[in-house]
Amino acid sequence: MSLKFKLVFFVPRASTQTVLQHLFSRFPIEVGRIGAYGGCAFVSPGTGQFVPLEGANPVIGEVGKPERVEEDRVEVLVLGSRPGAQETEGTETGASGVDVRAVLQELKKVHPYEEVAYDVYRLEDF
């Protein structure tokens, strides 16, 4: 039985579509699919802020200086499985899904930031 998760991450606006398209192409069934619709995401604009600490290698900003960046909050549905389960490439909706950690690895590969801010929520069906 597949589990549903909501993946929420924050990304500079200029990189939003690059990150989404990578996830959608790598996981065409498991990420961003709602019924008979694929490539689904909710994207909302906002401003992220951070201070790179000693030892950081920031893509944007300088160590020790506060930074504010126009970012998008991106929300996508992930058809997942229990940790450690095998990926099911090309499966149909209702199959066992993908280990969410594999989706997070791909997110981290394509995301421009050194540290990716994300949340994963397990969803319930009603």
With CA atoms as reference, report the closest residue to 3 among 74, 78, 75. 78
Residue ranges of E strands in 1-126? 3-12, 42-50, 67-81, 98-99, 118-123
pLDDT digits (tens, 9 = 90+) for 6-59: 999 999 999 999 999 999 999 999 999 999 999 999 999 999 999 999 999 999
| CATH 3.40.30.10 for domain 3-123 | no
Indicate the residue type of 53: L
Q: What is the domain partition of the chain in residue ranges?
A: 3-123
What's the average model confidence in pLDDT over 61-80? 97
By the 8 A CB rule, do 126 and 9 touch?
Answer: no
